Amino acid sequence: MTLSRRETLTIGLGAFAATFVLPKFAFAATEDAIAEFTGGAATGQGDLTLTAPEIAENGNTVPIEIDAPGAEAVLILAAGNPNPDVATFHFGPLAGSHVASTRIRLAGTQDVVAVAKMSDGSFVEARQEVKVTIGGCGG
């Protein structure tokens, strides 16, 4: 029987995905993707809210939402996925609200990263760790 990494999450009591060590290339790829988006500019804290569960109920489909009033574009990355790129949302000048939500697949416990390009040209970053776990002992 061949199991994908995701399928192992539903097997037995355990899952390999929960503690696997993030490969170095994933971190590097995340940093590269941020640098490409910002053109190398530093990111700060600001008006960007990233909403994600602390612990994923299902690593295959993790709901996330960004809310970034004043942003022209928001880059979403899954820092621990083999390919961290998730999406870039663009908001035009007529956008009623600068909110977007989607569902993403996470290969294991990792940071989800959002970087917003604000209309003044600055960049704002938010990140949250999302745990992909076995569970089974909540009592």
Which residues in this chain contact another protein in the complex, by CB under 8 A? 10-16, 18-19, 21, 51, 53-55, 57-58, 63, 101, 109, 129, 131, 133-139
Residue type, 130: V
**Residue closer to another protein (CB basis): 33 or 132:** 132
**Residue closer to another protein (CB basis): 43 or 109:** 109
**Residue closer to another protein (CB basis): 33 or 86:** 86
Of 112, 117, 126, 26, residue with least CA distance to 64: 112
Q: Which residues have CB under 8 Å from 92's CB, separation 6+?
A: none
Smallest gap, in angstroms, from Cβ of residue 130 to another protein?
10
Smallest gap, in angstroms, from Cβ of residue 6 to another protein?
14
Angle 105-106-110 from CA coordinates, rounded to 5°: 150
**Residue closer to another protein (CB basis): 40 or 139:** 139
Smallest gap, in angstroms, from Cβ of residue 16 to another protein?
6
Phi first, then psi, for residue 118 (nearest 5°) are: -85, 165
Q: Coil, strand, or helix at residue 24?
A: helix
15 class by beta-carbon count within 10 Å (0-12 exposed, 13-18 middle, 19+ buried): buried
Smallest gap, in angstroms, from Cβ of residue 71 to another protein?
18
